[in-house]
Amino acid sequence: MVLKNPQLQKLLIKHAKEILALLVQEGISFSILCDISKTHFDPSLPEDIAKDIDELSLFVLAGYTFESIEFETHCISFEAGFGSQNFGSVVSIEYEGVVQILLQDPQLLQEVSLFVNVGNSKLYNKLETSEEEIEEGLEHSFLALASNPANFHLLKDSDE
């Protein structure tokens, strides 16, 4: 599968780094959707906060969080506050864990995706379909087709 190609992975990571660097250089706030398994917190988050973080989590980088951004060799890091107590932690996201980079478009009143890491396993593993599921889907499609009398002419043997 091309999505697992190492050259594509390197290219996507390079592209993510370049987009992030440009946004910071231009002073443009943004959001990162990240794979939490590629994300580290220092200090670690308390259990009552950590349990509520999804495997794909969105971080909005604006204000102080934006100002605290640092680029490291393998990750981007920033300071963020969590929970009602605003527990402070340095968040480090490995570049390969960046799933999406989003901008808030004030004119469209929605987020615009600047980058999508189509090679991230959290993004496409859920899209993979097993052979059994495909066969089951085809069988359901055939039954739906066959159950409609208007489609009877499609099911006639072509030898007749």
Exposure pattern of 122-145 as b/e (b: 16+ CB <10 Å)?
A: bbeeeeeeeeeeeeeeeeeeeeee
Provide the CATH topology of domain 2-127.
SH3 type barrels. (2.30.30)
What local confidence, expressed as pLDDT, does residue 47 receive? 93
Residue 60, sorted as left (phi over 0), alpha (psi -120 to 50) or beta, turns out to be: beta
80: which strand partners? 89
Start and end residues for every CATH 2.30.30 domain found in the chain: 2-127
Tokens at 125, concatenated: 């593993």
Do residues 41 and 89 lie in contact, with contact meaning Cβ atoms separated by under 8 Å?
yes
User: Which of 40, 18, 160, 22 is closest to 89 using CA atoms?
Assistant: 40
Do residues 103 and 56 lie in contact, with contact meaning Cβ atoms separated by under 8 Å?
no
Do residues 34 and 79 lie in contact, with contact meaning Cβ atoms separated by under 8 Å?
no
Model-level pTM? 0.74
The single residue listed with the structure tokens 């055939």 is: 142
Q: Along the 160 residues of the chain, how does pLDDT read in single tens digits?
A: 677 788 999 999 999 999 999 999 999 999 999 999 999 999 999 999 999 999 999 999 999 999 999 999 999 999 999 988 899 999 999 999 999 999 987 776 778 899 999 887 776 655 454 455 556 655 656 565 566 666 566 556 544 4
